[in-house]
Structure 1
Amino acid sequence: MALRGRWAPVLWRACNVLMAAFFALAALVQVNDPDAELWMIMYMIPAVLILLVGLNPRVTGNLLWKSVSAIHVILCVVYAATLAYYLMFYTQWNILHEEEGRELFGLVLIIAWMSLCHNLSKNRIGGRIQFIIASVTATLPFIAWLYIYINKEMHAAWPAHCKTVLYMK
């Protein structure tokens, strides 16, 4: 059952703008990461694609948008599988304490959101469940980022390049 009404498109656009902002911020904080170029590109591609969906949800029907997003999702799936394999055998702490774990979560977010964009483009406006998932998914990265930022235990385990991105006392 599709979610009808005037608020559905507004909510969907707002969620996409929020996620585009999150991915743009994620790209920005990579500035002093050892592999910054890779991660800036990994986050900026979905930021741009998702912003386009926020501005015009019908863009997901465009062949160029579909092609770029499909290729990016495939690359993210391959890289996520590689990181998951590494973490399965070499993780020493909580997965969020490992840089590879945080990278894996970023890739999973990209994959999940881009898949949601593809799925909703096929179903026009989408179902109630899809909008609940979209709303929760659009807010959780910011909550997780805030948690990681204020959790003083995690700061001690961060590599030096992570400690200098945002000012922390």
Structure 2
Amino acid sequence: MAAAVAPWAPGLWRACNALMAAFFSLAAVVQVNDPDAEWWVVVYTIPAVLTLLVGFNPLVTGNFVWKSVSTVHMLFCMLWAGGLAYHFLLHAQQNILNEEEGRELSGLVIVTAWMALCHSSSKTPVGGRMHLAIAIVITLFPLISWVYVYINKEMRSSWPAHCKTVI
């Protein structure tokens, strides 16, 4: 017998989706000065749109088009992340946020994790407590990371010029 969904759960799920859609949109916008911006804008815009749709209507994750686009995007991101992880492991000289490939890898992992979480919500649009707890952690991670990077000016000092204008 399935446990009843708490009355606040749908609102929390929608709020997480709204925050992640905002994060992905902001991530797409800050790519403008990146040497390969066209790739990164697409990488972040697709989940921004898909996540916004989930925020408006959590049942959209059961739609064939939504599922197909999210699946193809997740596979693409996982393959790219695998290549970046391999490169990062071979060539890393600093921590993951100090290396451009590490930051790119982090972004791909966040996109993939969020899309997988949304994808898994098609059976239960709001999910259980564990689903919501994971959603909260994934939602807070990029926001806390961005604040940490913004505050830590020493970390940003070694970044390439196009990364120093990060919000």
Which TM-score band (shorter chain)? over 0.9
Q: 1:76 touches 1:111 (CA, 8 Å); kept in 2?
A: yes
- Stretch deviating more after TM superposition (157-166 or 70-79): 157-166
Q: Any runs of at least 4 consecutive aligned residues in structure 1 with deviations exceeding 3 A, and if so which? A: none
Report the TM-score, using the length of structure 1 for normalisation. 0.94
Report the TM-score, using the length of structure 2 for normalisation. 0.95
Q: 1:3 touches 1:128 (CA, 8 Å); kept in 2?
A: no
**Structure showing greater relative contact order (alpha-carbon pairs closer than 8 Å, 6 or more residues apart):** 1
- Cα deviation for residue 72 of structure 1 reads 0.3
- Gaps (5+ residues) in structure 1? none
Q: 2:58 touches 2:125 (CA, 8 Å); kept in 1?
A: no
Number of aligned residue pairs:
166
Match of 2:119 in 1: 118
Match of 1:39 in 2: 40
CA shift in 2, pair 1:160/1:61, >3 Å:
same
Q: Name the CA distance, whole Å, in 2 between partners of 1:162 and 1:103.
A: 11
Which amino acid in structure 2 is aligned with residue 160 of structure 1?
A: A
- Gaps (5+ residues) in structure 2? none
Q: Name the CA distance, whole Å, in 2 between partners of 1:39 and 1:113.
A: 16
Q: Name the CA distance, whole Å, in 1 between partners of 2:129 and 2:7.
A: 14
Which structure: greater helix fraction?
1
Q: Name the CA distance, whole Å, in 2 between partners of 1:147 and 1:100.
A: 18
Match of 2:23 in 1: 22
* Residues 1-169 of structure 1 mapped to structure 2, 5 A cutoff: 2=3, 4-166=5-167
SS in 2 for 1:122: coil
